[in-house]
Structure 1
């Protein structure tokens, strides 16, 4: 048997960790695993992102607006964690832990997330470049505004694959066991 590379060992470690985490979460939130409930979470997450973008824009005009960021994060985390659990965490799952159909779905969603990230990050970058050249760096809240807008656009792009998969995947069959609990995928020679 040829010696595994560092990357291969890391991928196998990620797959084992993913399977352990999947076994712990596969029974959580059973009523939220339907397509309609997952879509509710996707829409709620989209609303939180809109709120975060709004707070980022408000930071340009009001020095106290960053205080609104904490409540937005307190809403973001439970929705994101719930969506990740009910969607089976496929958006960031390692290939060794998935079957062929799941790999196809994940691989189809990831480039869309990357494109979303690239295009959305251009907005705060343009704001920072143009704004700093027009104000000669004199606007005191510009850096904070640009930082929050960049962070929000990166979150949107990073969450997009999971949101796409949660929105588009069909309802699981009632008698279907979670496919990632099959440890045989990691037993390959």
Structure 2
């Protein structure tokens, strides 16, 4: 009998949980699983991220109203993100043992792109913070702005694999939606 180490046991448990959740969510949002509708969700998520970036910059100028506008964006982001995850089959964060070879290749490619996106966005945020603190521009509000930008950069990076998969997946076969 082969004894599994801690990582193997964790991966097996994660795969079991993923497959159970997949069974639960398989029939959710059936009309939104077409490529066209998935792209609408991904575009809407992109619009929310753009608004978050604009608000993060606005934090430099207004720390009373701009943060209050962040709350509705969060309430818009959460169902959009959940919907993208559901309609893409959560393949962006699926464990290896729950996917076939083609799905693993797609997931790994999307994750690689997401890492590059995250690194680039966080680098831009760091340069922004260094520049604005060096010139002494609204330093008292810089933490709010930088924090908002950093959170947005991390959210974009975390959502990128599912967004790429949702955007590029072909329409499901007619028998798959039954």
Q: With the length of structure 1 as denominator, give the TM-score of the two structures.
A: 0.90
Tell me the secondary structure at the aligned position of residue 141 of structure 1. helix
| Number of equivalences | 177
Instruction: Determine if contact 2:60/2:138 at 8 Å carries over to the other structure.
Output: no
Tell me the secondary structure at the aligned position of residue 27 of structure 1. coil
Partner of 1:140: 140
> CA–CA distance in 1 between the matches of 2:139 and 2:134?
11
Equivalent residues in 2 for 1:1-189, closer than 5 Å:
1-64=1-64, 65-135=66-136, 139-176=139-176
Give the superposition deviation at 1:130: 2.1
Query: Which structure 2 segments of 5+ residues have no match?
Result: none
> CA–CA distance in 2 between the matches of 1:93 and 1:138?
42
> CA–CA distance in 1 between the matches of 2:105 and 2:8?
20
> CA–CA distance in 2 between the matches of 1:100 and 1:63?
49
- Over the aligned positions, Cα root-mean-square deviation in angstroms equals 1.4
> CA–CA distance in 1 between the matches of 2:72 and 2:176?
38
Give the superposition deviation at 1:133: 2.6
Tell me the secondary structure at the aligned position of residue 115 of structure 1. helix
> CA–CA distance in 2 between the matches of 1:154 and 1:138?
23
